[in-house]
């Protein structure tokens, strides 16, 4: 109901008390102020943005037509900074825009920039579309950068992902679009892109992969090549036909999606096999480039360690290559005058490093390679390492974590894995207790697995990973090299080099530094890191030196006069593989390795065939060719340089161990030299107990020999302290004129028969187990029996003895004289033996024996009997 007012004045006053229109006027003013403020801020923002943009692009490079025309090759220098080769400067088939077939252009546009002809260098719509395409068709389906941006990036800018670089890219892309036509820009892109195989340009790819001119490519072939620039090496149809085909199918899908081809055309093209349409190995053209295997490593390393493109960025790369060593490696692999290979299909991969720095000196990528940048057996191969892994995964961790010495005893015996699965030694025999040095020298499997079991899987895995062995998992079978995946010779060389470098690991690398186009140097060298104690490194090294000494398994790798440590390795076929592939002999193996090092160089060699199903037969040296390659290579690179031996660090002590002691004990001063071995221990962890096995027992005492004349025997008696506690026996040796006899007994007395007139000597030794005492000795002379005296007869004598005796009366006869006379021999002379008297008398006297037999004859005992023959006829008489 409307209000009623009494008068106009009342109405006027009432209206004055209500809200007035000026309230609305105030609200309108606030909005206006906010709007003006936003406009002002926008202007300020625009000005700031313009200022920031101007600041970011002020140092942007200018559009140099030379850089737009051709990518700049990179130079590769050796370790002495001498030019080896250039990468990216050759093998480019240039194509003009007018010669690019429509199917190729459509494939590129659909993949890289389908709105290329609608934008001015930067395409916000494409950016959003790329994000959506990646969700719909998978990551990598479509890129966000326009073709113009890619030309700018590849021509002027580094690939670093920073705001400044992206702003510069946008600015230069806009400029490029102002100065060049779309067709010119498209032509630049087509000729710049890298298409693997050390080559650039879409036309080059057509020649390399299909042997065709660009105009002759089919839809399927054009789509395959158009998809390569995103990841050239991964989509290389020679090396990865499966990935290349998947990528091609994505391109075909995009071509249909953007209206370039029909659905039927897409489906028909997808049915074509990439592998069947590319050139086979015999048809592929080989571009001769020096040291291709090493250049492989350089290219891979640039990609892994930087964002640079080695083929377009004009880099100067200072590498670690030793050209002499590289040339010799290639000669070893491809000539027959150094190593005799079984056939042309036999393959080998070689990696040679500087032991101290990890710098790659040479790479042998394979034998008789028919394509450049083909499969590199030194870098790309992943084969089971066999027993070469034992130092890395078993014995080094045992020394590192358990403080084992090289003398640690372990029994070579039948065992199983913890799972219960059986395995055995390579020769299906077992040799009983042995040191870990011997176990490694003879490459016994059972001790290796037992060692890993004691170390523990996790610790062993961590240790190996620290040495560059890429283990993602570990099982007990890994102890003897039974990997599910594999390792490369380069990785094995890197691991072993740490043993030769006092436990310091440096990742193997081919590049020392990179010089950019503006003169800036970038170092890509990895940092050295300590991965084990120097005691572990030295003790493993010393054990590995034994491998090259007979009866070690690596004697063919030995170089006389060169201190080398190393390890052999072979792998085996399973029973299922033998049956499946028809392997001819149980002695055939799929892989044979040798990895070793000096203080200067480390080398790892793998040998085998491309396919594991082709065995290395046990004929001649076929399974030992890795050793022969190592020997020849190490001998060559070590020629005319000093190679010092490995030095024992202060953390290690040399110990004398009694051979065969288990647990090990120190040799005692009584241990025979033949039973003493010199080994090494981590300082403070040598055995504390000294062997008593060969300690001398107490010698028998008071040895006495007594002759019993009545019973005609000798009784020996002796004493021995604590006879019952000592648990000894006695060895009694009796020497006499009739020979030697031996008696063994526990009693301390012995009776033996005696022969009168014989000298006896006795030696008694106490024995307890392997321990003996010093000998106790005695001697005794057994007298002849006493004979009755014979009275003398007086016979006439007739002359004097002209010899040394007097034949008359009481003279003294001293010799062998002859007496002729008529005298009477009744004297009491003294005779020395064998006198002969010629006379008729008989002399009876008392003689004294002066023989040097050590026995004193009692008085009145006849000793020597002489015969006297008279000149006149008489009766011969025997004198006492």
Supply the residues annotated as catalytic. 112, 387
- The whole-angstrom separation of Cα 127 and Cα 137 is 15
- The whole-angstrom separation of Cα 497 and Cα 506 is 8
Which residues partner with 719 through β-bridges?
701
DSSP assigned state of 878: B
Residue 583 CB partners (closer than 8 Å, separation 6+)? 573, 577, 615
Q: Check: CB of residue 246 under 8 Å from CB of residue 228.
A: no
Token code pair at residue 836 = 């002969």
Rg (CA), the chain: 51
Residue of 265, 770, 238, 66 lying closest to 251 (CA atoms): 265
Residue 625 CB partners (closer than 8 Å, separation 6+)? 339, 341, 346, 348, 592, 607
* Total Cβ atoms within 10 A of residue 117: 10
Beta strands 74-77 and 316-319, pairing class: parallel
- Residue with tokens 């040191």, as numbered in its chain: 435
State the number of CA atoms in the 13 A half-sphere of 347 facing the CB. Answer: 21
- The whole-angstrom separation of Cα 582 and Cα 585 is 9
Residue of 850, 855, 721, 838 lying closest to 780 (CA atoms): 855
User: Backbone phi, then psi, for 555, in 5-degree steps?
Assistant: -65, -25
Q: Check: CB of residue 425 under 8 Å from CB of residue 412.
A: yes
Residue of 293, 299, 328 lying closest to 311 (CA atoms): 299
State the number of CA atoms in the 13 A half-sphere of 26 facing the CB. Answer: 5
**Strands of the sheet with 521-523, listed across from one edge:** 83-87, 74-77, 316-319, 511-515, 521-523
Q: 3-state DSSP call for residue 260? A: coil
State yes or no: cis peptide before 102, omega within 30 of 0: no
- Buried b / exposed e over 27-56, threshold 16 CB at 10 Å, is eeeeeeeeeeeeeeeeeeeeeeeeeeeeeb
Residue of 625, 581, 632, 633 lying closest to 607 (CA atoms): 625
- The whole-angstrom separation of Cα 784 and Cα 831 is 19
Q: Check: CB of residue 251 under 8 Å from CB of residue 111.
A: yes
N residues, the chain: 880
What sign for the dihedral angle of Cα 34, 36, 42, 45? negative
Token code pair at residue 323 = 């050209």
Q: At what angle do helices 625-637 and 323-334 cross, to 10 degrees?
A: 150
Q: Check: CB of residue 583 under 8 Å from CB of residue 599.
A: no
Residue 396 CB partners (closer than 8 Å, separation 6+)? 463, 499, 532, 536, 540
Instruction: Give the DSSP per-residue string, 457-518.
Output: HHHHHHHHHHTT---S---GGGGGT--SS-B-HHHHHHHHHHHHTTTEE---BSEEEEE-TT
Strand blocks (E) in 612-758: 652-658, 676-682, 701-708, 713-719, 729-736, 739-745, 749-753
């Amino acid at each position: 109901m409307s209000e009623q007012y009494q008068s106009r004045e009342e109405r006027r006053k009432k209206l004055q008390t209500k809200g007035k229109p000026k309230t609305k006027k105030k609200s309108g003013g606030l909005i206006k102020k906010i709007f003006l403020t936003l406009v002002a801020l926008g202007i300020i923002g625009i000005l700031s943005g313009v200022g920031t943009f101007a600041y970011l692009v002020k140092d942007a490079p200018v559009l140099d037509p030379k850089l737009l025309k051709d990518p700049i090759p990179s130079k590769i220098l050796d370790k002495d900074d001498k030019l080896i080769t250039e990468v990216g400067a050759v093998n480019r088939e240039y194509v003009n825009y007018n010669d690019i077939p429509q199917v190729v252009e459509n494939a590129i546009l659909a993949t890289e920039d389908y709105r290329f002809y609608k934008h001015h260098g930067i395409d916000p719509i494409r950016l959003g579309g790329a994000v959506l395409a990646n969700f719909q068709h998978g990551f990598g389906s479509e890129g966000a950068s326009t073709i113009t941006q890619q030309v700018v990036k590849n021509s002027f800018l580094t690939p670093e992902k920073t705001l400044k670089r992206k702003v510069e890219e946008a600015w230069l892309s806009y400029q490029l679009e102002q100065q060049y036509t779309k067709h010119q820009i498209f032509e630049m892109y087509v000729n710049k892109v890298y298409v693997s195989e050390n080559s650039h340009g879409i036309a080059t790819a057509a020649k390399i992969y299909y042997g065709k001119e660009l105009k002759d490519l089919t839809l399927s072939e054009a789509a395959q090549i158009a998809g390569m620039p995103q990841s050239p090496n991964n989509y290389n149809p020679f090396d990865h036909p499966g990935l290349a085909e998947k990528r091609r199918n994505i391109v075909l899908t995009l071509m249909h999606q953007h209206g370039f081809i029909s659905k039927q055309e897409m489906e028909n093209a997808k049915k074509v096999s990439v592998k069947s349409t590319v050139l086979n190995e015999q048809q592929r053209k080989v571009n001769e480039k020096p040291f291709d295997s090493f250049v492989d490593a350089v290219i891979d390393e640039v990609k892994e360690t930087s964002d640079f493109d080695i083929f377009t960025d004009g880099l100067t790369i200072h590498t670690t290559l030793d050209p002499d060593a590289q040339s010799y490696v290639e000669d070893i692999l491809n000539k027959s005058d150094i190593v005799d290979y079984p056939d042309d299909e036999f393959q080998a991969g070689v990696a040679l490093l500087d032991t101290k720095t990890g710098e790659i000196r040479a790479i042998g990528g394979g034998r008789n390679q028919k394509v450049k940048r083909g499969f590199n057996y030194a870098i790309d191969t992943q084969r089971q390492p066999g027993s070469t892994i034992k130092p890395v995964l078993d014995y080094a961790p045992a020394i590192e974590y358990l403080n084992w010495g090289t003398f640690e005893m372990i029994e070579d015996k039948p065992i199983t894995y913890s799972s219960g699965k059986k395995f055995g030694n390579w020769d299906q025999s077992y040799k009983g207790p042995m040191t870990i040095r011997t176990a490694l020298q003879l490459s016994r499997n059972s001790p290796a697995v037992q060692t890993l079991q004691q170390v523990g899987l996790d610790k062993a895995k961590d240790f190996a990973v620290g040495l560059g062995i890429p283990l993602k998992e570990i099982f007990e079978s890994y102890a003897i090299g039974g990997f599910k995946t594999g390792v490369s010779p380069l990785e094995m060389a890197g691991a072993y080099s740490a043993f030769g470098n006092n436990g310091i690991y440096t990742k193997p690398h081919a590049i020392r530094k990179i010089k950019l186009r503006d003169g800036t140097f970038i170092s890509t060298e990895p940092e050295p890191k300590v991965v084990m104690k120097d005691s572990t490194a030295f003790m493993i090294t010393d054990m590995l030196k034994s491998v090259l000494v007979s009866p070690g398994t690596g004697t063919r790798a030995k170089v006389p006069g060169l201190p080398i440590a190393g390890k052999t390795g072979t792998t085996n076929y399973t029973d299922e593989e033998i049956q499946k592939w028809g392997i001819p002999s149980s002695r055939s193996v799929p892989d044979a390795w040798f990895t070793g090092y000096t203080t200067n160089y480390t080398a790892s060699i793998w040998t085998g065939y491309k396919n594991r199903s082709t065995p290395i037969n046990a004929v001649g040296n076929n399974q030992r060719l890795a050793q022969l390659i190592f020997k020849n290579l190490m001998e060559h690179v070590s020629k005319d340089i000093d190679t010092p031996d490995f030095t024992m660090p202060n953390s290690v002590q040399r110990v004398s161990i009694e051979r065969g002691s288990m647990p090990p004990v120190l040799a005692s001063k009584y241990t025979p030299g033949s039973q003493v071995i010199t080994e090494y221990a981590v300082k403070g962890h040598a055995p504390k107990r000294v062997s008593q096995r060969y300690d001398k027992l107490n010698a028998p005492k008071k040895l006495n020999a007594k002759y019993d004349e009545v019973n005609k025997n000798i009784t020996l008696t002796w004493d021995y302290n604590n006879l019952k506690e000592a648990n000894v026996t006695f060895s009694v040796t009796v020497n006499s004129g009739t020979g030697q006899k031996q008696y063994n007994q526990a009693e301390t007395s012995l009776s033996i028969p005696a022969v009168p007139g014989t000298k006896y000597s006795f030696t008694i030794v106490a024995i307890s187990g392997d321990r003996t005492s010093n000998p106790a000795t005695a001697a005794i002379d057994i007298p002849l029996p006493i004979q009755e005296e014979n009275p003398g007869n007086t016979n006439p004598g007739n002359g004097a003895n002209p010899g040394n005796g007097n034949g008359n009366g009481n003279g003294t006869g001293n010799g062998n004289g002859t007496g002729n006379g008529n005298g009477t021999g009744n004297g009491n002379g003294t005779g020395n033996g064998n006198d002969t008297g010629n006379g008729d008398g008989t002399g009876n006297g008392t003689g004294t024996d002066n023989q040097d037999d050590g026995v004193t004859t009692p008085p009145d005992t006849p000793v020597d009997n002489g015969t006297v023959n008279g000149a006149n006829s008489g009766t011969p008489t025997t004198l006492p």
